Amino acid sequence: MSESSAYNEIDLIRRAQSGDDKAFESLVKSCDHRVMNIACSMTGSLYDAEEVYQETFLRAYSALATFRHHCSFTTWVIRIAVNQSITHRKKQKLRSLFRIWTPIDDLQDILPAPQNDTYPGKELSNRELLQEISKGLNRLSNKERSVFTLRYLQEFKIKEIADITRNAEGTVKNLIFRATQKMKKHLKAYVEDQYVKL
């Protein structure tokens, strides 16, 4: 973040803390797409992601007076979004321990399309791949899913992920390694065909 951007963010935060709703709206606009993408990646459902998104910004607004500039506003809000997503997933597991649902259409909005789209059966293969990715993500622990989503689906740097999750960089690297190994194992057929490279 440039010095002028940081100053602008600090100014917006102070104005929002003083009750300026337009300033808070500007802060939300600066990170709302990332929050929604993370929520969707973490929950696996657009409907659930919308709930997490709303709860994230309600919590951010409620806690804005306690924001102390120890990190950027975006990092702070993404931390809230990750925690809300984890909480939401735990509640969902309690509600439906035996429900099997794969949110393929929701994941298609998040994941990049494969480079080669000229082969026959592409749509079926993409759909199968998305199903396998969704199943693999659902098998990761909440911490592994969080760091995997932040690293590979949102392209955050290790240091940023450490700030968001409040873990040491070494812990983040370890979690990413474990999550990646589990995803590789789960996606073995696709990895061996060099369809997916993690």
Res 23 pLDDT > 80: yes
> What whole-number percentage of the chain has pLDDT above 90?
41
- Total domains in the chain come to 2
Which residue reads 């955050």 in tokens?
A: 156
What pLDDT, on the 0 to 100 scale, is given for residue 130?
73
The answer on 66 and 27 residing in a single domain is: yes
In angstroms, rounded to a whole number, what is the distance separating the alpha carbons of residues 173 and 57?
28
| Confidence at residue 113, expressed as pLDDT on a 0 to 100 scale | 47
Please tell me the predicted confidence (pLDDT) of residue 5. Answer: 60
Q: pTM of the prediction? A: 0.62
Which domain does 75 fall in, by range?
1-98
Statement to judge: residues 28 and 68 lie in one domain: yes
For residue 63, give Cα distances in angstroms to 16, 67, 73, 76, 171.
11, 7, 12, 11, 27
One-letter identity of residue 29: K
Residues contacting 43, CB < 8 A, separation 6+: 49, 52, 85, 88, 89, 92
For residue 90, pLDDT over 90 is answered with no
Is the domain of 4 the same as that of 43? yes
Tell me which DSSP letter residue 64 carries: G
Nearest to 12 by CA among 2, 92, 3, 22: 22
Helices 73-95, 158-165: crossing angle, 10 deg rounding: 60
And the tokens for 162? Answer: 């450490």
Q: Is 41 helix (H, G, I), strand (E, B) or coil?
A: helix
Report the pLDDT value the prediction gives residue 115, as an integer from 0 to 100.
Answer: 47
> Residue 192: its pLDDT value, please?
63
pLDDT band at 156 (very low <50, low <70, confident <90, very high): confident
Cβ burial 26-49 (10 Å sphere, 16+ → b, else e): bbbebbeebbbbbbbbbbbbbebb
What mean pLDDT, rounded, does the chain reach? 79
- CATH code at 25? 1.10.1740.10
- Higher per-residue confidence, 122 vs 35: 35
Per residue in 71-87, pLDDT (tens digit) is: 899 999 999 999 999 98
* pLDDT over 50 (residue 195): no
120 is written with which tokens? 């026959």
Question: Given 67, 98, 129, which residue is the final one in a domain?
Answer: 98
Does position 175 have pLDDT exceeding 90, yes or no? yes
Residue 111 neighbours by CB under 8 Å, 6+ apart: 130, 133, 153
User: Do the Cβ atoms of 198 and 191 come closer than 8 Å?
Assistant: yes
Q: Is 107 found in the same domain as 120?
A: yes
